[in-house]
Structure 1
Amino acid sequence: MVTPAAPVLVLNGPNLNLLGLREPAIYGTDTLDTIERLCHDTGKGLGLRVECRQSNHEGVLIDAVQEARTAHRGIVINPAGYSHTSVALRDALAAVGLPVVEVHLSNIHRREEFRHHSYVSGVADAVICGAGAHGYALALTHLARLIAVD
């Protein structure tokens, strides 16, 4: 059973550890550390504890989602490239029964055609894309509202 004091999970997928270096014209110049600080600060202002994790490995992300079922109140996820390929990650998110907000730094609908579909979007309570790092603050704000309703 998840307690009201449990943290929320901010989960970042593959290649997001390279933020600030990787294609800054698309993803911006903020690093993952900067985004994680933003998440902690935003969470604090919302009365949420935030735990941040990142992995380049699909199975590790799935394990984190499954662990969140009993350890977290909700999930903000940037599945990155797995958005468009991972039915397994989508199924894990659907199975845990937690509020989920999907976030993308870029507007995936203005990019290559293969990025227009996200398996995760179908099980997310909300999707925020194209707002850069600020999208994480928006996602946490919305997740706080979802948790308050539960």
Structure 2
Amino acid sequence: MKKILILNGPNLNLLGKREPTIYGTLTFEEYFESIKKKYADVELVYYQSNVEGELINKLHEVGFSFDGVIFNAGAYTHTSVAIGDAIKGIETPVIEVHISNVHAREEFRHVSYIAPNAKGVIAGFGLQSYELALESFL
């Protein structure tokens, strides 16, 4: 059985409330329960933090034992050299995901410190971005 971590960064705990026209009205916990049912043959683990160091610690924790990480680092994608370095330092492949199309948004969101060290990037497909990433690991 494959073991996949879904890792969410800052402000993603506000899904369902925050900017519903961009992010929708479903909480991530509701969405996570639905994909756990859909992918019952995969061990899915979910972790969210608004704290950069906690995200790095989680990457280190699973980075040599899990089969994959689906990572939406939120705004840290565009600012955190440390998260990029953490991904570079682990063996578990990471797929960068975004709910919105970051390339259709502000200019600063066009830069990713994760992408150079990621297996791939999926953006702009709403919550389905996570399932597309999950399918790539299966």
Is the TM value for this pair above 0.5?
yes
2:32 corresponds to 1:36: yes
- Cα distance in 1 for partners of 2:29, 2:75 equals 20
Contact 1:103 1:129 in 2 (8 A): yes
Structure 2-normalised TM-score?
A: 0.94
Contact 2:60 2:86 in 1 (8 A): yes
More helix by share: 1
| Residue ranges of structure 2 left out of the alignment (5+ in a row) | none
Of the three residues 5, 10, 17, the one matched with 1:14 is 10
TM alignment of 1:1-150, pairs within 5 A: 5=1, 7-44=3-40, 47-144=41-138
- Cα distance in 1 for partners of 2:75, 2:83 equals 11
- Cα distance in 2 for partners of 1:16, 1:35 equals 12
User: What is the DSSP-based 3-state SS (H/G/I as helix, E as strand, rest coil) of the residue aligned with 1:71?
Assistant: coil
Structure 1-normalised TM-score?
A: 0.87
Residue 8 of structure 1, CA deviation: 1.1
Residue 127 of structure 1, CA deviation: 0.7
Amino acid in the other structure paired with 1:67: E
Contact 1:9 1:53 in 2 (8 A): yes
Could you list the per-position Cα deviations for residues 106-138 of structure 1 after superposition, in whole angstroms to 9, with x for gaps in the alignment? 000000001111111111111110000111111
Could you list the per-position Cα deviations for residues 36-85 of structure 1 after superposition, in whole angstroms to 9, with x for gaps in the alignment? 223323432xx321100000000000000000123312110000010000
Compare 5-14 and 91-100 and name the one that shifted more. Answer: 5-14
User: What is the DSSP-based 3-state SS (H/G/I as helix, E as strand, rest coil) of the residue aligned with 2:47?
Assistant: strand
| Residue ranges of structure 1 left out of the alignment (5+ in a row) | 145-150
User: What is the DSSP-based 3-state SS (H/G/I as helix, E as strand, rest coil) of the residue aligned with 1:70?
Assistant: coil
User: What is the DSSP-based 3-state SS (H/G/I as helix, E as strand, rest coil) of the residue aligned with 2:50?
Assistant: coil
Equivalent pairs counted in the alignment come to 138
